[in-house]
Homo-oligomer: A and B are copies of this chain.
């Protein structure tokens, strides 16, 4: 396998202010392409440190990927260090500079401030990697037997750049590689240790296949990896894994639950309404994250106060007084009120105590009542989550979507 190194640059990554999102992602993508990452280094925005690391890693890598430090401010020094390490001059890429100026004129109505042309400086001999979501382009060049590829730090900029710019370039440069295939299985509602326990025999039973786990709250991603040349082996391991996980495995591939539910709704010609209390709009936000969500999203209500539950959704005040705002009867009344007030066919409702305050002995923080279903056929369930406010809210929204998804699957 060809060996790669990754260099991540930014004071903020070393100050414990920002958690790096690039090392793991690039290592994983490069592994798929047949590159084994030998080392990842995180360095400060400091020319000497970068220079030294580039020199050290050049000689031992077929590919050196660098991320970060391409911004317009004085602490962005990556390109200066790369040019020094490679003994190259910098040239102003006129096309990139024109692109940056035109971006500024379009969106700000003015020319960029002095300093911004720095982002259009590229070492001599390097080819531009286009950045369609930000001002800083990346670049790639060869030095000795090493390919050096430099990306801006923001993941939302460099991830598409890796896929659409660098990978095709590597494809041309390195012909024969042992490609790895990764299959992703998405699991919701099981503890990580339970998932590991259920899958403990897979690696032994299917030698050559590796099982990886990634906890991407509130779901767990199980990843099967193997050589692209052994598809039968991967197929058999996939079947064993699917059988072991049962209905907790709600989908395969890249699409997360909100998008999977949305697609199922669209296929069935159904529109959804949300009625939220403690999640404050989060379920609606998740359901509309996906492009084209107008095919399934009709409307939503955020009934945060008790008065809003009565006025927006017609929940009887007596019901709230009798059972409390966090109760299955109120969740059911919120949902039927929402379904009556718009033309949606199905819906979900959430009322709970997200925390950290507001819990009682009977209803501690994390108690969440959820209702879901279609007109005339509603169900409810009470959960006890035990995370912090953010995770309790996310788990609530996902649990409601997962319930509705399960019901639609049953038919």
**Quick check: A75 and B343 within 8 Å, CB to CB?**
no
Q: Does A41 contact B (CB under 8 A)?
A: yes
Complex CA gap A11/B42 in Å reads 17
Q: Which of B41, B106, B285 contacts A279 (CB 8 A)?
A: B285
Q: Does A250 contact B (CB under 8 A)?
A: no
Q: Which residues of B contact A372 (CB under 8 A)?
A: none
Q: How large is the interface on A (under 10, 10 to 19, 20 to 34, 35 or more residues)?
A: 35 or more
Complex CA gap A108/B190 in Å reads 10
Identify the closest chain B residue to A297 (Cβ): B304
Identify the closest chain B residue to A386 (Cβ): B107
Most buried by B among A18, A116, A154: A18
**Quick check: B11 and A16 within 8 Å, CB to CB?**
no
**Quick check: B42 and A40 within 8 Å, CB to CB?**
yes
Complex CA gap A156/B192 in Å reads 14
Residues of A near any B CB (own CB < 8 A): 11-20, 23-32, 36-44, 49, 71-75, 103-104, 106-108, 112-116, 133, 135, 154, 156, 182, 191-197, 200, 203, 210-215, 223, 225, 271, 274, 276, 278-285, 287-289, 291-294, 297-305, 307-308, 311-312, 341-343, 355-357, 384, 386-391
Q: Which residues of B contact A311 (CB under 8 A)?
A: 299, 341-343
Q: Which residues of B contact A104 (CB under 8 A)?
A: 191
Q: Which residues of B contact A192 (CB under 8 A)?
A: 71-73
Q: Which residues of B contact A106 (CB under 8 A)?
A: 386
**Quick check: B291 and A389 within 8 Å, CB to CB?**
yes
Q: Which residues of B contact A40 (CB under 8 A)?
A: 13-14, 41-42
Q: Which of B115, B196, B291, B391 contacts A197 (CB 8 A)?
A: B115
**Quick check: B16 and A29 within 8 Å, CB to CB?**
yes
**Quick check: B281 and A74 within 8 Å, CB to CB?**
no
Q: Which residues of B contact A211 (CB under 8 A)?
A: 75
Q: Which residues of B contact A210 (CB under 8 A)?
A: 17
Q: Is the interface of A mostly helix, strand, loop or mixed?
A: mixed
Complex CA gap A31/B17 in Å reads 10
Q: Which residues of B contact A271 (CB under 8 A)?
A: 305
Identify the closest chain B residue to A290 (Cβ): B389
**Quick check: B282 and A285 within 8 Å, CB to CB?**
yes
**Quick check: B302 and A284 within 8 Å, CB to CB?**
yes
Complex CA gap A297/B276 in Å reads 13
Complex CA gap A113/B203 in Å reads 19
Query: Smallest CB–CB gap between A252 and chain B, Å?
Result: 16
20 residue pairs of the A-B complex, CB under 8 angstroms, read A11-B212, A13-B24, A16-B31, A16-B32, A72-B193, A107-B384, A115-B197, A156-B391, A271-B305, A274-B302, A276-B281, A281-B283, A281-B285, A289-B389, A289-B390, A299-B301, A299-B308, A300-B304, A301-B302, A311-B342
